[in-house]
């Protein structure tokens, strides 16, 4: 069965999997970031976690940066590895600080997001990303001169 799958499923399917993973998980993250963005834009008083004494406004701004802007970058596969870093930090804070005393079922979602964003930090966006277009051209130019 494994040899059949290796022959019928080319390596490019890994890139299709990365594309689907990027779009779905970052899209789900946008559903968390967008309401936070609207709260930030509304100008209403902010009631948000005060992580490390930064203040609720700055903590909300950092969460919006990660959960909205970085999620958009990951959807398109632009600066995927760099965009994953704030998301890894945000999900680690959510799982281990904000929900530290909560039951596992409450922090499970943050942990799942954390694992996926660590995975994208390691792998990058794959072939079907803007990163691949940008970096592949650079690599081809460098190879000519070597």
pLDDT at 145 over 50: no
What are the pLDDT digits (tens) for 56-97? 888 888 999 999 999 999 999 999 999 999 999 999 999 999
Cα–Cα distances (Å) from 130 to 107, 110, 145, in that order, read 32, 27, 24
> Taking the model in full, what pTM does it have?
0.82
What's the confidence (pLDDT) of residue 12? Answer: 62
What are the pLDDT digits (tens) for 99-133? 988 999 899 999 999 999 999 999 999 889 999 99
What's the confidence (pLDDT) of residue 5? Answer: 53
pLDDT at 3 over 50: yes
CB 107 within 8 A of CB 113: no
Provide the sign of the torsion angle of the four alpha carbons 83, 89, 93, 96, taken in this order: positive
pLDDT at 51 over 90: no
106: number of Cβ within 10 Å: 12
Angle between helices 104-123 and 80-93 (to 10 degrees): 160
Identify the CA nearest to 37 among candidates 77, 71, 81. Answer: 71
Cα–Cα distances (Å) from 139 to 66, 126, 129, 131, 145, in that order, read 29, 15, 15, 12, 10
């Amino acid at each position: 069965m494994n040899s059949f799958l290796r022959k019928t499923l080319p390596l490019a399917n890994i890139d299709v999997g990365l594309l689907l993973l990027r779009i779905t998980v970052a899209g789900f993250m946008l559903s968390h970031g967008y309401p936070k963005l609207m709260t930030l834009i509304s100008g209403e008083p902010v009631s948000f976690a005060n992580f490390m004494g930064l203040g609720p406004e700055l903590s909300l701004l950092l969460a919006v940066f990660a959960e909205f802007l970085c999620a958009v970058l990951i959807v398109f596969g632009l600066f995927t590895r760099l965009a994953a870093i704030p998301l890894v930090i945000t999900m680690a804070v959510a799982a281990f600080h904000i929900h530290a005393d909560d039951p596992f079922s409450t922090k499970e979602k943050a942990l799942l997001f954390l694992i996926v964003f660590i995975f994208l930090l390691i792998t990058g966006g794959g072939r079907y990303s803007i990163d691949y277009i940008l970096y592949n051209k650079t690599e081809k130019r460098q190879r000519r001169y070597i």
